[in-house]
Structure 1
Amino acid sequence: MHPLRVSVRAVCYRDNTILLAEHRDDRGLWYIIPGGGIQHNETLDLAFKRELLEETGGEADMGDILFVREVIADELETTYLPKHLHQIELFVEATNFRQITEASEPDKDQIGMVWMPLDKLPDLLFFPKAMVGALQTKSFDKIYQGHIM
């Protein structure tokens, strides 16, 4: 049996930019909203703060859940995700971002973070691609977005 993984991602805007974790692998540069898995007996707000600090070296105030994405790796034609991964991702509003240090525990292939102009999102290898329009307009019409890439 493969456990369901739950993660939290910090959606942080500044002016007309969004904070992204920048990665590089054989596909070239690609981007995601910073965040990661919630550990056993860890609250959502503590995981939010820990993941943001680990991946960006920053702190922010946790706001509301903007949307939920589900990922089932075995249902995708091609993926760089671990086999049998089933993950629920909670995308949470992050406000008052403050840079306090360097990223302490970046993800595998993560090379940094970047404040990306919102109008550049469609041109990037970005996940989840299906949410680019909503992230650009900051308009989330429903919380559960389903199994999207």
Structure 2
Amino acid sequence: MNIRNSAKALIIRDNQILLTKNVDTDGVFYLFPGGGQEHGETLNEALKRECVEEIGQNVRVGELLHLREYIGKNHEFASFDVNVHQVEFYFECELANEPWNEQPPIAPDDHQVGVEWVSIQQLHACRLYPEALKQYITKRLHGGSVPVYLGDVN
């Protein structure tokens, strides 16, 4: 089995966070824009490419905020993620072209149905993966200290 690197964007503006909106048999869920790093590609390059594909926007990549591991066999999706081991790098990003000009995604992921600005105050009510990031996003906005390495969380 291989370990897959994935670069993710945390795009926050006016107490809202930009997420991809997805649907499965359990309903709506949200993910951070971004995706897998390709061979020969830097994490920054991967994140820029994935944001164009998933949110239709160019981004400026900033500071690395979090590092998360996802070992599928350890979580609720073990039945179909048993062989998944992914390391995710969460970067602070901003849209390169302001104001927000909603463009349709170029190559959305399988379950993706759109892009949505979600109020950070409403994150607790959303099905967001990884869920562990909800508390850190809220804490960061209030000036709290948050860890960079989150471990194997979902």
Q: Match for 1:145: what amino acid?
A: L
Structure with bigger strand share is: 1
RMSD of the TM alignment (CA)? 1.6
Q: Distance in 1 between matches of 2:113 and 2:7?
A: 20
CA offset digits 1:123-149 (Å, max 9, x no partner): 011111112111123255221100001
Report SS of the residue matched to 1:49: helix
Residue 42 of structure 2 corresponds to: 43
CA contact (8 A) 2:73 2:81 kept: no
Distance verdict in 2 for CA 1:140–1:84, change over 3 Å: farther
Residue 151 of structure 2 corresponds to: 146
**Aligned counterpart for 2:110 among listed residues 108, 111, 114:** 108
Q: Distance in 2 between matches of 1:58 and 1:23?
A: 18
Q: Is 1:126 equivalent to 2:128 in the alignment?
A: yes
TM-score, normalised on structure 1?
A: 0.92
CA contact (8 A) 2:6 2:37 kept: yes
Report SS of the residue matched to 1:50: helix
Query: What percent identity do the matched residue pairs reach?
Result: 32
Select between 120-129 and 75-84 the one with higher mean Cα deviation. 75-84
Unaligned 5+ residue runs, structure 1? none
TM-score, normalised on structure 2?
A: 0.89
Q: What is the aligned residue count?
A: 148
Distance verdict in 2 for CA 1:38–1:140, change over 3 Å: farther
CA contact (8 A) 1:22 1:112 kept: yes
CA offset digits 1:77-105 (Å, max 9, x no partner): 44475330000000000024434742100
Report SS of the residue matched to 2:41: coil
Q: Distance in 1 between matches of 2:133 and 2:14?
A: 19
Distance verdict in 2 for CA 1:132–1:80, change over 3 Å: farther
CA offset digits 1:23-75 (Å, max 9, x no partner): 00101000011110000101111101100000000111100110011000012
Q: Match for 1:9: what amino acid?
A: K
